[in-house]
Amino acid sequence: MFAGVENHTVSCRAVVTGNVGSGKTVLTHRFGIDLAGKLEGRRKVARSHVNCRNHPSTSQVLQQIALSLDSGHPERGFSSGEVIQNIRRNLRAHGSHLLLVLDEVDVLIRRDNTDLIYKLLRIDEGQENQGLVSLILVSQDPTLFSLFEPAVISRLGVRSSLSLSPYVKEELVGIARQRYLAACKPGSVSEEVLRVIGGAAADGGGDARMAIELLEDSVRKAENEGRREVLVEDVEGSITRQGSLVSSPIEPNLVYGLGKHQKLVLMGICRRLKKTEEISSGDARKLYELVCEEHGERPRGYTTFWKHMKHLESEGLIQSRASNSNKGRGRTQYISMPNSAPAEIEGRIERDMLSG
């Protein structure tokens, strides 16, 4: 799909789809690094990777692209057309070709239609045949092309699509083995344990990330208990813990892409929902304040707290229902997480905040 990209007049495009954990994001990251290295000395490649779930509007996506090219680009004051002109001007001034990856692009399209995609595909028009931008669109949605207008489909080309299949058991065993050899002491994880991990991740939809996290959770359990070897029971405990990872896989970007205080709000909710099926919004607020105190953060105001709650609900991480208050008049919001494992979500947030 990128044949001929070494030619300065050529721009390429690709659409990559696949299930959660099928390797879409790491594939495009790796490809960008390899492409820049392969073309070194022949064509200067700038890379920009934008997650559209974290930046779901046209203006936010363009801002992220502009910042990847110029960290001093002003955050406000420019229309979308002006930002595109600035991007074009920057690329021409530095003699660069931009490899742009729009991850989870279906989120952007459903919110702001395909207008930005069309403009990016036409960015070379009137530029003396300069190939300025190569575009890779990434999505979990196998029907992504149905969201495009005919003009976009025509410019992308029918041969630009690459669908990644879910990993099968043997591949997942190999991925778990690779991580074990890189991260653990020899002999601490048996082949039997690796095969249990691979089988569980295969049953969970072929998610490589699940295999890696099952290995991590199992190793942590063995370490916490002072053992030098991971047992099959450690893996089985990780699978069944809090409603099973297999039956309730959560796309990590939904958690890792949250702002700090959104994570703190969600962490407080998770702590209580490990013990009960739902909590009131008032309790959620109190738990958020406690978590902020633990992390040395000043709680945001009530209005901002509610914006965070609405964002978490829009992402499908929590659900709310209104009910008549038991105390006086009015209605109370009750929060639940019917499609998630609270302990698993809490663990992901804690690991993310510790690593960040």
Q: What tokens does 238 get?
A: 């990780």
> In which band, very low, low, confident or very high, does the pLDDT at 76 lie, cut at 50, 70 and 90?
confident
Pick the CATH number of 169-243 from 1.10.8.60, 3.40.630.30, 3.40.50.1970, 3.40.50.12780: 1.10.8.60
Q: Please tell me the CATH superfamily of domain 13-164, with its number.
A: P-loop containing nucleotide triphosphate hydrolases (3.40.50.300)
Amino acid 35: pLDDT: 95
Amino acid 254: pLDDT: 75
pLDDT greater at residue 170 or residue 124: 170
In tens, the pLDDT along 143-176 reads 888 888 888 998 888 789 999 999 999 999 999 9
Average pLDDT value over all residues in the chain:
87
* Domain boundaries 252-355, CATH class: mainly alpha
For the chain, which residues make up each domain, given as ranges?
13-164, 169-243, 252-355
The sheet that has 44-51: what strands, in order across it?
44-51, 96-103, 133-139, 13-18, 161-164
Tell me, yes or no, if the pTM score tops 0.85: no
* The pLDDT of residue 25 is above 80: yes
At 176, which amino acid appears?
Answer: A
In tens, the pLDDT along 337-349 reads 876 778 778 888 8
| Short-list 45, 28, 36, 13, CA closest to 120 | 13
Amino acid 252: pLDDT: 59
- Segment 295-303 shows an average pLDDT of 92
Rounded to the nearest 10°, the torsion over CA 212, 213, 216, 220 is -170
Q: What tokens does 60 get?
A: 């936010």
Q: Which of 2-6, 174-178, 308-312, 352-356 has the highest mean pLDDT?
A: 174-178
* The pLDDT of residue 247 is above 60: no
CA distances from 61 to 37, 165, 264, 330, 348 (A): 26, 28, 25, 40, 26
Q: Which residues contact 51 (CB under 8 A, 6 or more apart)?
A: 103, 104, 253, 257
- Segment 77-87 shows an average pLDDT of 88
Q: What tokens does 17 get?
A: 């789809």
